[in-house]
Amino acid sequence: MTCSIHPSILSADFVNLEAELARISTADAVHVDVMDNHFVPNLTLGLPVVQRLQAVSPVPLDAHLMIADADRWAPLYADLGIASVTFHAEAATAPIKLARELRARGSKAGMALRPATAVEPYLDMLAELDMLLVMTVEPGFGGQSFLDVTLPKIRRARAAVDGSGAKVAIQVDGGISEATIERAAEAGADVFVAGSAVYGVDDPGAAVEKLRGLAQAAARR
């Protein structure tokens, strides 16, 4: 299994986003947290900023939409030509239709689950997804502590993905650091979002390499 690291620009300097992207050019993609102050109690950025990030980023964009009415808004992010668009299951009325719409518009389709949302109701739609995001903190803010209570869900998701034969990445987001990434990898995650653990240190590029090495070694165990 190949492990990918997606730094989250939520922990970057929002006044210098182009320069902040250049610092993580060794990453596999950049994770862009879109928050609307409705689905989560925080506000970040929207379509015009994502469009500019897409224009200047050295790596593909992985948009994590923490927004209400995903059915309406997520396709507009796919229309920007970004590599991957992830909506929250709790914010979508018709997740299968939405995932198909994202793929039809050329993006990979991701679906996210809050920590207390069970994966089981969605197992029959795995083949509609390119990525399943298991949130490992309550969405809304960077710098929170990893919730170990989500590990069994990651394991169940991994077993279901492997059993289904579908090619679905399992992403974890929240509290991922050198201290926690191995636990998530051992449970079966293969795409790791890290905000503060990458942008909170002097050398984000080195942090990406270190995290990837730890995850890769843990996944092989």
The tokens describing 35, both together, are 């928050």
- Known active-site residue 173: yes
Nearest to 1 by CA among 200, 170, 196, 172: 170
Which of residues 175 and 188 has its CB atom nearest to ligand DX5 in the complex?
175
Which window, 54-62, 140-148, 182-190, 210-218, contacts ligand DX5 (CB under 6 A)? 140-148
Asked if 210 and 182 touch (Cβ cutoff 8 Å), the reply is: no
- Known active-site residue 33: yes
Asked if 153 and 118 touch (Cβ cutoff 8 Å), the reply is: yes
Which of residues 130 and 173 has its CB atom nearest to Zn ion in the complex?
173
Residue from 90, 144, 156, 218 binding ligand DX5 (CB under 6 A): 144
Which window, 85-93, 119-127, 141-149, 160-168, contacts ligand DX5 (CB under 6 A)? 141-149
Asked if 48 and 56 touch (Cβ cutoff 8 Å), the reply is: no
Q: Which helix (H) or strand (E) holds 73?
A: helix 70-78
Neighbours of 75 (CB within 10 A): 17
117 is a site residue for ligand DX5 (CB under 6 A) = no
**Given 28, 33, 62, 190, which residue is catalytic?**
33
State the residues that interact with ligand DX5 by CB under 6 A: 8, 10-11, 31, 33, 64, 137, 139-144, 173-176, 193-197
